[in-house]
Amino acid sequence: MTNNDFTTLISRAERVLAQLEAYLPPAPPEIDWTARAFRWRRRGSRGWLDAVRHISRIDMGDLQHIERQKDIIDRNTRHFIDKKPANNVLMTGARGTGKSSLVKAMLATYGDQGLRLIEVDKSDLGDLADIVEMIGDRPERFIVFCDDLSFEEGEAGYKALKSVLDGSVTASGDNVLIYATSNRRHLMPEYMSENLQARHQPDGEIHPGETVEEKISLSERFGLWLSFYPFRQDDYLDIVYHWLRELGCPEEHVAPARTEALQWSIERGSRSGRVAFQFARDWAARHV
């Protein structure tokens, strides 16, 4: 082969490679470890931690009438920050009662002490093992946050989450916890027919069926369960008044908001903290 032939071959190879690169996904960006919150992103077969630049901040004082839940999760998170034993947390219950906000409040409270938050969508739970390995040698303390978590039969993320919580050969690392929220206590749909699988022994002892055992096995791997309940009317109004003051509404316009606040909750069929905040934004915009 002459030099000209070799040069032509190299030139053709470079053109082919250039065409192939156009179809390949770009390399993941470098992780900005100075950020306090991340989202797990995926493009094709590649995943990376994407820094969140504008964090939705909420303080513990903004969360009203969930004092017991606040105390428990604050104690658990403080132990985690202090490198003491701490539990993964599952928060279940009524919608709009502060489950997700409580996790954000932990970041606001302990971010200066090294706490970091990684938000992972349910569809990406199969990557949990990769995420844990990626942050395993970092000095920060990471909470992997799975919001509004629930599974249908046979979803892949279900078993991936079980393995990371407890049961995998690989240790999950002492610098990571999983905090999850759900409207389902056992994270999966439950059917009346499953009760028929229960076995009754002659002595009266009841053994649940295997399907029930499988569904309970995931939620049992969370060391802490926190339940959230619908607010009473007075609690709902307290939350409305709190947000009106936080949004700068003059005091003389706070108490008169009562009637419209109740009407607002009736129209939406809920007296949740989320509904209270939405009303407060509307009222404050008209009276500030």
Instruction: Annotate 207-263 with DSSP letters as a single string.
Output: E--HHHHHHHHHHTTSSEEEEE-PPPHHHHHHHHHHHHHHTT--GGGTGGGHHHHHH
Q: What is the mean pLDDT of the chain?
A: 82
**Rounded Cα gap, residues 241 and 223, in angstroms:** 35
Q: pLDDT digit string (tens) for 219-263?
A: 778 889 999 999 999 999 999 999 999 999 999 999 999 999 999
Q: How confident is the model at residue 192 (pLDDT cuts 50, 70, 90)?
A: very low
Q: pLDDT digit string (tens) for 31-72?
A: 899 999 999 988 777 889 999 989 988 999 999 999 999 999
Q: Please report where in the chains the tokens 């619908």 appear, as a residue.
A: 230
* pLDDT score at 15: 73
Query: Under a CB-based contact definition with an 8 Å cutoff, are residues 123 and 107 in contact?
Result: no
The answer to whether residue 169 scores a pLDDT higher than 50 is no
* pLDDT score at 284: 94
Q: Collect all residues with Cβ–Cβ distance below 8 Å to 108 and sequence separation of at least 6.
A: 57, 58, 59, 60
Nearest to 72 by CA among 242, 80, 94: 80
Which range among 23-27, 29-33, 145-149, 260-264 has the greatest average pLDDT? Answer: 260-264
Q: Sign (positive/negative) of CA torsion 271, 272, 277, 278?
A: negative
**Rounded Cα gap, residues 219 and 31, in angstroms:** 32
Using DSSP, state whether 282 is helix, strand or coil: helix
pTM: 0.79
